[in-house]
Structure 1
């Protein structure tokens, strides 16, 4: 499965009042592995950022002045995300800006190029109800270092979110495997599975003696019979010895 973790930075909060995208960062995941095939572009929005937004991302009008416009990078972006499942934290915000930019250029919506969208904020609220679920909070919760995140940056935030997403969904691997095995059994396919021979090594006389000495020590400490002796007896009964 190909997934793209995406983040944007913008001049403000509302594309309908003229705010624009100034940075797009994407990180590719294939079969739950980071590939290093990332996409990152700074964009000239042809306007200034609001002071509040500038304090968040630090991308000045002067820095962005010689960068390409969105129309110059949109086809690269479309090709990059084509057919992938896109992962975004607080997806309505980024999708609102992306769809607006695509609409200005007479293009189909951004989401029409993707196979689906996962909102990690929604997932986090389901997993951790009543707790803070910002990207910084999730990094702290899952032990992901964000010490280098002084300002918001689209690529940096996408990289952090990729690590958070993989940590949040780590248990799904075993679930998928269990479901696959169950399906194979129900479909009568288990006979096709070749089981490897299991090599059993019996303990030597010296190892048995050392084990008995350890059990004697445990019995002495608790002034009774340790649970391990009970287990050994049950094993002998089950084996018919």
Structure 2
């Protein structure tokens, strides 16, 4: 029987469940052996009054009012557990997602206290850091480096990111890295040559403190989620 893997991602109201942040979306995609199946799990969740941070809103484009009629975690937890139990979870920056999901389990006093009790966990961020030391290893960076295309990534979504992550995982562990890395280096060299020939002016834009705070929140949210520091 083929090994079963589940590519998993979450979206949250903010950065830290210890200060009350909650999960607002779960997305999971099944992989059997080396093949993605058509089986998946996805649910938006009502965070029970916890407002979404400006950073998370910018990242996901999810508004507070959109979640008011969505199920509570306790209403979907058994279906979720049934879907993932016994599989190896594929997660990018697993500490973040596992921490949030374990907190949701704790809040409803579920019999499963830690997802690692019922699933193994493979962290693609840790694997990528070993494979590409010193390089950016966010999901976006890996998607570009491994030549994965066909996804609209204007906003982050748990199911969308789980789909992308499944492709990243299969590429990272399937022997295609060397070829794709060489391609990336070739493109980078071309870009460097072009940049040497371009003379452009920098336009300074003025922003108010509210916009700056929202942008800083967005960068913190993105950095925490992907496990790499974002600096723009």
Aligned match of 2:75: 72
Aligned match of 1:16: 18
Aligned match of 1:112: 117
Please give the residue correspondences for 1:86-165 in structure 2 after superposition, counting only pairs within 5 Å: 86-107=89-110, 108-114=113-119, 116-145=120-149, 148-165=152-169
Q: Deviations over 1:39-94 (max 9, x none)?
A: 00010111210111111111111111100011101111111111110000000000
| Aligned partner of residue 38 in structure 2, secondary structure | coil
Please give the residue correspondences for 1:219-234 in structure 2 after superposition, counting only pairs within 5 Å: none
Q: Unaligned stretches of 5+ in structure 1?
A: 173-241
Q: Aligned partners of 2:146, 2:159: CA distance in 1, in Å?
A: 20
RMSD after superposition: 1.2
Q: State the aligned residue count.
A: 171
Aligned match of 2:58: 55
Q: Aligned partners of 2:84, 2:30: CA distance in 1, in Å?
A: 9
Q: Aligned partners of 1:103, 1:83: CA distance in 2, in Å?
A: 20
Please report how far the alpha carbon of residue 111 of structure 1 lies from its aligned counterpart in structure 2 after TM superposition: 1.8
Aligned match of 1:167: 171
Contact 1:146/1:160 (8 A) holds in 2: no
Tell whether 2:44 aligns with 1:42.
yes
Q: Aligned partners of 1:146, 1:112: CA distance in 2, in Å?
A: 35
Q: Deviations over 1:119-147 (max 9, x none)?
A: 00000000000000000000000100165
Q: Aligned partners of 2:151, 2:30: CA distance in 1, in Å?
A: 23
Normalising by structure 1, we get a TM-score of 0.69
Q: Aligned partners of 2:145, 2:175: CA distance in 1, in Å?
A: 16
* Structure 1 stretches of 4+ moved >2 Å: none
The structure, 1 or 2, with the larger RCO (C-alpha pairs under 8 Å, 6+ apart) is 2
Q: Unaligned stretches of 5+ in structure 2?
A: 177-232
Aligned match of 1:26: 28
Q: Aligned partners of 2:36, 2:42: CA distance in 1, in Å?
A: 15
